Structure 1
């Protein structure tokens, strides 16, 4: 008998029975190389090489990876796995980011664990590690998840800064123009290129959009709304009924309501002001109402179609509604709205008859959330962090002024950039000031997240960590740009020498560095 020692006795991939697999592909709006077709092609090459048979495809096209919301294919995939309907043992995904760019890396881990418990393995075909549960693969996978989430966070910061800059220049950012107004496309020099119809978008990156007066008949209606409200003392609901009786539709082709009339009466775009950022929806989190001091605005950016005096009179009437009532009377109206609707929101309040607007509640009680609490209503989500963030935003200019005063008192000079809030110290270095909110874990440990101003690259960042109540500074970090590699720093009470070497109990050391002496004294 002759033995062929060149044969190992093991089956080659082509001889082994194929393992049934499903592929999951996702594309948001990024780049062509990540299209679902290209992902599927790479996954098929991986499957053929490693002995997998693709029997099912789940595809989410044009879907963000920030959350599970809206990703119907991934929801169906997870449901099939959990309910035992999966006729496959492996899920093939192009890379970690295609599975999701979740802001919490543990969320991605949760979905993968759900699959693993059901006996289905998730494999990433384009990654340089094998998802085999080893320590090395787990570490790399966690890092990849963090990088995927961080990419979206950095992109969000850059997009917000860019949009804020364009708003300041007087350009429109998103949203319908409103009744009586139209969107005009202009080139980079401001020359008009044509009016955009509803649902039309600009196609050239350097083009911009401004608001211009619409048809004369719509402008006349807008002005009549203001006259009826101010001069004839009609309320919003009566004005809406009159317009509906004349078969006049709103800019969205719908009948008028109290809320749509109220929106015209309070929106500054009708006197030419460009205001943006009243609400936020960053990183697919819940919509939040921003405080007026956080809005981005450019006054006089557009041609006004309403007399500013008439607009001011309308605003005075609206604000006077709540001023005539005591706090108890205002809250009683809010209780009535809660009793009728079973819930509360800004839209519900604005649609209510003979009731102050949602902005009036916010102005009188500091926030809608506090007004909700006073009538015993608790939203489904915990929005306390919104109030803390608003408080810290109000604190920010105070802190900047304190730093300026400290530098000047030490003999240094400061120039503040009104657009970026960066401080130029002695004409030598630029300094950014960041206030970090303290968040307590379930175990009571303090945590801080510090976002560095990566777009403007200041030479030094003064990071102020707040105490557990977010009322007073806990300590200070002087972070030089040259030593910072991450856009976001996550800190605990103790962070090791690499970060805590920059920690100080006060800013006295910083002020000493900025001090300047006369030439004769220095000599």
Structure 2
């Protein structure tokens, strides 16, 4: 499906090419049938994110106006589930090994370009990661860790934007998204940028968390998701004004001025709350300033 959409020049909701990550998220998103889903995962500060089983998810019916009929949505889920069960682990690995013999190397684009194999996302879903699938057939590319981490960061950025917007819309806030800048404007009052800080392990140093995207100084706030050391899951969040992000790395040293250690938040919900507190404070200051401007002067 992603190949067909990209081949026809149809971009996704962020103005980018479709990937297996964004397409799977769209197809499984219950927002399109009017539901809001909470409690899908939990994690504590400094620990890895843990997914909750579906039976403890909290679903809020009729939270939005549905744009997809429920019968069509669940039919798609049934087809998707059935397709994942067509091939056994052994069949998937044998086809992967045959592709390695044919191409001499493996990568996500090579897998996705082969019509005899499931997409790379299917291998990640079945075996936990491409690295584990490769290891099962005795293939150990040096570049895999870097590309796996980069792909997870991109997927995290897309998912964060969606979840951030969903949280705000659920509370009745209006949003405007600028595809060129990536800025999200909330209630025409506050501009927010979503960024991901990836763990780097250069030259045997302790991990450093770098933001590869340029920080837009027009933003009022930047919500930064700090990845774990494997760049697989979000470890914590930081909400800061652009002026605090003076370098491409988050400062985490205990004795480094301006470090973010005391500014970290455990969940995206807490990050949204911090943004809304900032917005309320900004609106209140603006109202007070306007009141002073138009206060009538006393006569002599």
The TM-score normalised by the length of structure 1 is: 0.32
CA contact (8 A) 2:200 2:209 kept: yes
Q: Shift of the alpha carbon at 1:511?
A: 3.2
For residues 237 and 110 of structure 2, the distance between their equivalents in structure 1, rounded to whole angstroms, comes to 43
Where 1:395 maps in the other structure, the secondary structure is helix
Q: 1:292 aligns with which of 20, 31, 34?
A: 20
Of the structure 1 ranges 463-472 and 399-408, higher mean CA displacement relative to structure 2 is found in: 399-408
Residue 329 of structure 1 aligns to a residue whose secondary structure is helix
Partner in structure 1 of residue 184 of structure 2: 423
Matches within 5 A, 1:328-347: 328-338=90-100, 340=101, 343-345=104-106
Aligned residues between the structures: 210
> What runs of 5+ residues in structure 1 fail to find an aligned partner?
1-265, 277-289, 296-319
Question: Is it true that 1:399 corresponds to 2:160 in the alignment?
Answer: yes
Counterpart among 200, 217, 224 of residue 463 in structure 1 = 224
What residue is the counterpart of 1:513 in the other structure? 278
User: Are residues 401 and 326 of structure 1, via their aligned partners in 2, closer, same or farther at CA, if it must alter by over 3 Å?
Assistant: closer
| CA deviations over 1:389-413 (Å, ceiling 9, x no partner) | 323333334433544466568x783
Q: 1:324 to 1:398 in 2, by over 3 A?
A: closer
Structure 2 residue 144 is matched with structure 1 residue 365: no
- Where 1:515 maps in the other structure, the secondary structure is helix
Change (3 A) 1:456 1:343: same
Q: State whether structure 2 residue 13 is matched by structure 1 residue 268.
A: no
| Aligned match of 2:198 | 437
Relative to structure 1, the CA distance from residue 342 to residue 466 in structure 2 (aligned partners, 3 Å threshold; closer, same or farther) is: closer
- 2-side partners of 1:394 and 1:325: how far apart? 25
Is the partner of 2:96 in helix, strand or coil?
helix
8 Å Cα contact 1:478/1:502 also seen in 2 = no
SS across alignment from 2:211: strand
State the distance in 2 between where 1:408 and 1:337 align: 45
Q: What SS class does the counterpart of residue 223 from structure 2 fall into? A: strand
SS at match of 2:143: coil
> What's the secondary structure of 2:241's corresponding residue?
strand
Say if 1:466 and 1:473, in contact at 8 Å, map to a contact too. Answer: yes
Matches within 5 A, 1:376-395: 376-379=138-141, 381-395=142-156
For residues 418 and 464 of structure 1, what CA distance do their matches in structure 2 show? 20
Aligned-residue offset at 1:331: 1.4
Q: Work out the CA distance in 2 between the residues paired with 1:460 and 1:408.
A: 18
Structure 2: tracts of 5 or more residues without a match: 13-17, 24-81, 292-300
TM-score by length of 2: 0.51
**Structure-2 change in CA distance of 1:465 and 1:494 (3 Å):** farther
Which structure has the larger Rg over C-alpha atoms? 1
Tell me which residue corresponds to 2:256: 496
* Root mean square deviation of aligned Cα: 4.7
Separation in 1 of the partners of 2:230 and 2:7?
41
The C-alpha deviation readout for 1:367-417, integer Å capped at 9, x for no partner, is: 6554322211112x23223223323333334433544466568x7834130
CA distance in 1, matches of 2:177, 2:20: 21
The CA deviation string for residues 311-344 of structure 1, in whole angstroms up to 9 with x for no partner, is xxxxxxxxx9997542212312333454x55933
